[in-house]
Amino acid sequence: PKATRAKVSKLADLRGQRVRVFGWVHRRRDQGGIIFVVLRDGTGYLQTILSGRVAQTYEALTLTLESTIEVIGTLHPVPEGKTAPGGHELSVDYWRVIGSAPGAEDAFTNRLNEKSDPSIQADLRHLVIRGENASGVLRLRSYLLNAFREAYASENILEVNPPCLVQTQVEGGATLFKLDYYGQPAFLTQSSQLYLETCLPSLGDVFCVQESFRAENSHTRRHLSEYTHLEAELAFIDFNDLMSHIEEIICKTVDILLANPITAGLIKSLNPSFQTPTRPFTRLSYVEAITWLNEHQIQHPEEDSSGNPIKDEQTNQINMVDHKVGDDIAEAAERQMTDIIGKPVFLYGFPAELKAFYMKKMDDKEGEGEKNVRYTESCDLLMPNVGEIVGGSMRISDEEELLAAYKKEGIDPSPYYWYTDQRKYGTTEHGGYGLGVERFLAWLANRYTVRECALYPRWPGRATP
């Protein structure tokens, strides 16, 4: 009988029938003249059995991992006491090699394994992504983006596609990638926030999924030079609404993933101790966080006026000091904090000096007694094992206040005329946030670094493959 052509993920309905499948040789095991080949086609894994005549050919004996093959045979449920992906296996009666792979002497099968040097793994990323863990993370990432979109759709929030090529900064001039744009200076976008704000009077609340670029010389577990930035902007809300909305979107997205057996299975295998976050998330003001850090003896390096750590002259060790109000909470301290707390936590109300120019100031001065500190309606969401995954704030809605903020930051307001206009043509209280998709995935799938969560990650010095 004629074989039905199918992808591995669609085989459950074809048990007992003859099927035809294409894929890559993922694993091979030889046992008493029988060859067990696990086939991978991107939708799943299929155990195939080559025995008797079909296993006795030159092609079968020399079949290498990562070769592409076509197989035809009858699909059986696995015999009792045995397991196979999907619960079935294919007894092959015809097969052929489509493209062979070099085999044991080759980089992939020989040089590349979990212990190989990170630079080799980075050079061979195009082959690494064929592995079960790497492809599992990328598979989860695809479903994650769908789940976010579903969560926004359920709130009637529209997706827009802002530009990558821009002539304004959002998060400070120091981390801009500059380029020549037909003879004019331009940048790769750091954040689509300003564009999202302009959509509010047109489309209402909006979100986008856009690459952001940061020329940061940070070689850390959570910094990329290019990352996928999920951003949203909401009108007619207050600061409390903003934080509730972030909780809602994150919890809804996680619920969608856990309700789907495919993604629930991926999360379970990549991150067996995953804990579903529960609402409301803990909220800690910046001032409370400083106290918390000192109570837990989490210090930070003492810095000179240009931000370099000060070393003790005798011991040559970096001086560690307590945190005080006004200090930035650096990555190391933030990570220790989230690891101790062990669940999502909102830090909110950062001093204006530490934050971007567009942020709305708090009405009353929190942290009485701390002179000259203006706090902002800003929040960072921290997750265990990763730290900051979301940064958000309410925005300045008053034109005069915004003009003063440009001035303070040393920004020429003229290229921002369209952003300023937002305050002239029917201003409103509004706010929004950005979420680092790779950081979110690192939390969800318990990855050591965001570099495992991007298809082809970019960091200082790395733009290949």
- Site for Mg ion, rule CB under 5 A: 391
Decide whether 108 or 433 has the Cβ nearer to ligand 4AD: 433
Q: Considering the rule CB under 6 A, would residue 447 count as an interface residue with ligand 4AD? A: no
Note whether 193 binds ligand 4AD by CB under 6 A: yes
Interface positions, 369-388, toward ligand 4AD (CB under 6 A): 388
The sign of the CA dihedral 11, 16, 20, 24 is positive
Residue with Cβ nearer Mg ion (351 or 391): 391
CA angle, residues 199, 201, 202, in degrees to nearest 5: 60
Binding mask 140-179 for ligand 4AD (x = CB under 6 A): ------------------------------xx--------
Number of residues that bind ligand 4AD (CB under 6 A): 24
Q: ω before 465 within 30° of 0 (cis)?
A: yes
Separation between Cα atoms, residue 268 and residue 121, nearest integer Å: 25
Cα separation, 348 vs 256, whole angstroms: 27
Q: Is 223 one of the binding residues for ligand 4AD (CB under 6 A)?
A: yes
357 touches ligand 4AD (CB under 6 A): no
How many other CB atoms are there within 10 angstroms of residue 13's CB atom? 9
CB of 294 to ligand 4AD, least distance (A): 24
To the nearest whole angstrom, how small is the minimum distance from the Cβ of residue 438 to ligand 4AD?
6
Per DSSP, what are the bridge partners of residue 390?
381, 435
- By beta-carbon proximity to ligand 4AD, the closer residue of 49 and 137 is 137
Per the CB < 8 A criterion, the answer to whether 163 and 196 are in contact is no
Q: Are 449 and 222 in contact (CB under 8 A)?
A: yes
CA 321/CA 336 separation, integer angstroms: 16
SS3 30: strand
The partner in contact with residue 171, picked from Mg ion, ligand 4AD, none with C-beta cut-offs of 5 to 8 angstroms by kind, is ligand 4AD
> Using CB under 6 A, which of the segments 139-147, 222-230, 257-265, 282-290 binds ligand 4AD?
222-230
Q: How far is the CB of 431 from Mg ion (least distance, A)?
A: 14
**142: which strand partners?**
none
- Residue 437 DSSP label: H
Asked if 390 interacts with ligand 4AD (CB under 6 A), we say yes
Judged by CB under 6 A, does residue 392 bind ligand 4AD?
yes
Decide: is 419 part of the binding site for ligand 4AD (CB under 6 A). no
d(CA 23, CA 68): 6
- Closest approach of ligand 4AD to the CB of residue 168, in Å: 12
Cβ 144 vs Cβ 440: under 8 Å:
yes
CB-based closest residue to Mg ion: 391
Minimum separation from the CB atom of position 433 to ligand 4AD (A): 5
Residue with tokens 């080759």: 106
Q: Measure the N-to-C terminal CA separation of the chain; round to a whole number of Å.
A: 45
Q: What is the DSSP letter of 110?
A: I
When the beta carbons of 47 and 285 are compared against ligand 4AD, the nearer one is 285
Task: State the residues that interact with ligand 4AD by CB under 6 A.
Answer: 170-171, 191, 193, 214, 216, 223-224, 227, 229, 231, 388-392, 432-436, 438-439, 450
